[in-house]
Structures are given as C-alpha cells and as structure tokens.
Amino acid sequence: MARILVTAATGRVGSELAQRLIAAGHDVSAVTSRPENADALRDAGATPVIADLQEPETFRQPAEGMDAIFLATPDDPRQDVMEGNLIALFAAAGKPHIVKLSAQSAGLDPPVSFGAYHRRSEEALEASGLPHTVLRPTFFQQSLLLFAQDVARKRKITAPVGKGRIAMVDVADVATAAEAVICSDRHFGETYTLTGPSAHSFDDIVGLLSDRLGHKIGFSSPPAFAARIVLPLVTGMPRWQSGLVVDLLSALKAGAQQETNGDVERLTGRPPRSIEDFITHNLHAFGG
C-alpha cells in the first residue's frame, strides 16, 4: 500500500484516479480547494486535504511522507508558475514520484495553446531531480459533452476545427494509465502520449450522432478570427482562456492530434475506448 496525494481530486481525471487508487487499497489524500467537498471525499475513502494553489505552502504538510503525487491543476494564466512552485515544494518534502498530467500539445514543436504552460512545468519537473512521469493526453472524448446542449436543442455543432482528425482519448483511460504508473519506478523519466484507438473529424462525430439519434446533426467550422470574437461572448470564458481554446482547435484543424499510438494499451493492458463506445454510452446527454 502506498501513500498517494492526488491534486485536483474533484476534477475529471483526479476524481477517477482517486477512486481507482482507493479501490486498490492505497492510502489516498485527496486535494480540493473547496471545504464543502471534504465530506464527499471522506465518504469515498480518501483523506480530504484543503489546499489552495495560490498558496503553495498549504501543500507543504500534506506532501510530507508521500510515496507519490498526482499533479494536475486547472487552466490558469499562471498555471506554469503555480505548478513550478508546487514542484519546488515537493522536492523539499522528500523524493515522491510525481505523475504530471500534461497535454499532447506540450509535445508539439513549438508547444501550442495550453501546452506551452504544460511544457514549462515539465521543464521545471525535469530540473527538479524528482522521480517523475509525464502523461500527455489528447483532446478528451468527454469534452464533446460541451456541445451536448447544442446537439439536443439546435441539432448542430459549431467549432473551428475544419476537417481535422483527432485521436480523442477517454478520461477513464487517462486515469487508468495514471494508476498504472504512479506506484512503479519502471516509468521514472518517461513521457507517454495517450490517444484513442483511431482519429475522427467532427464530420465523423456528427455522422455518428446522426446515426444514433435518428436525425441529422449539422456541423459548421467558423474561421478562427470569428471564433475569437464569439467564444467569450457565448461561453463567458475570459479572453485569455478562449484565445487558447481557439489556438488549440486551430492546431487540431491542422492535424496536430491525428496520430495514434499504443501507449494506453502498453500501460493499461487493454485497448483504449473508442469514440463509438463513448457516444453510445453518453447518448442521453445529446438528447438520445
């Protein structure tokens, strides 16, 4: 049994990973910035930790004595700075194995969008001397749920991705990969790019949705300059964030995530989940 600190423990990957580690019998400390989440984390079998990324010292005591730490942080204009502060603090707390949730876009040359922040954090981790493993997932299949209301109400998806094909990965596969590496020294110093089993365009996605729902779902791809204007207005995103989203979608349009690999199966022992399975299991969200 290992002692493991899971940051962003109520996030998509962190929550899934924490559940898996608890089920495997590990001693899991789950980080949240919201005290109201503590009871739910405790009921799930974790030790809740209230800590604030803006105050890295709040992580010092929870990090003491940990065998491993899962490092994930939300999108923020200071994400690389916050992660760098945490990495320095973790290095002072001992030699835990750090598993960093990064992004496939950090491995592009040059890094794109949020990947630029992640790459700077990766460099801080490499310079820290800590044992570490980096996971770089592609676009999450679950991110398609951001379009679910438009599909259900307007029967249409609008995104500036053109005909770009994307090897989307399921969050569950990312969490399973993190579980596989976090307690093993065989993965020290390794970087894994986590993809789905095949690449699909948004034309493919709306085709699958149309088949499953029994009516036609449309797709339009506005130019990037129009998306930069409209996205913050319709989503409420701050412009720094919406600009990075458009940068990422533009990279996807150009084919930045069309390649697949075997890293998910290599780490988890099974093929990654397909986009067809994801849509079938989440059809209700799209109005099915």
pLDDT of 151 above 90 = yes
Residue 244 · residue 113 · CB < 8 Å = yes
- Interacting residues of 140 by C-beta distance below 8 A, sequence separation 6+: 12, 168, 169, 170, 171, 174
Residue 2 · residue 68 · CB < 8 Å = yes
| Phi, psi dihedrals of residue 274, rounded to the nearest 5° | -90, 160
For residue 288, what pLDDT is reported?
A: 84
Report d(CA 132, CA 134) in Å as an integer: 7
Q: How many residues does the chain have?
A: 288
pLDDT of 227 above 90 = yes
Q: Sorting pLDDT into bands at 50, 70 and 90, what band is 165?
A: very high
Report d(CA 5, CA 97) in Å as an integer: 10
- Which tokens in the block code for residue 86? 């945490």
What does the pLDDT average to over 142-154?
96
| Phi, psi dihedrals of residue 206, rounded to the nearest 5° | -70, -25
Stated pTM of the model: 0.96
For residue 243, what pLDDT is reported?
A: 96
pLDDT of 94 above 90 = no
Quote the domain boundaries for residue 100.
3-137+169-194+259-273
Residue 178 resides in a domain: yes
Q: For position 91, which CATH number holds? A: 3.40.50.720
The tally of domains found in the chain comes to 1
Residue 157 resides in a domain: no
Residue 8 resides in a domain: yes
Residue 225 resides in a domain: no
Residue 243 resides in a domain: no
What does the pLDDT average to over 88-110?
95
- Mean pLDDT for the chain? 96
Q: Sorting pLDDT into bands at 50, 70 and 90, what band is 256?
A: very high
Residue 130 resides in a domain: yes
Residue 26 resides in a domain: yes
Residue 55 resides in a domain: yes
3-class SS of residue 101: strand
pLDDT in tens, 170-212: 999 999 999 999 999 999 999 999 999 999 999 999 999 999 9
Report d(CA 219, CA 134) in Å as an integer: 34
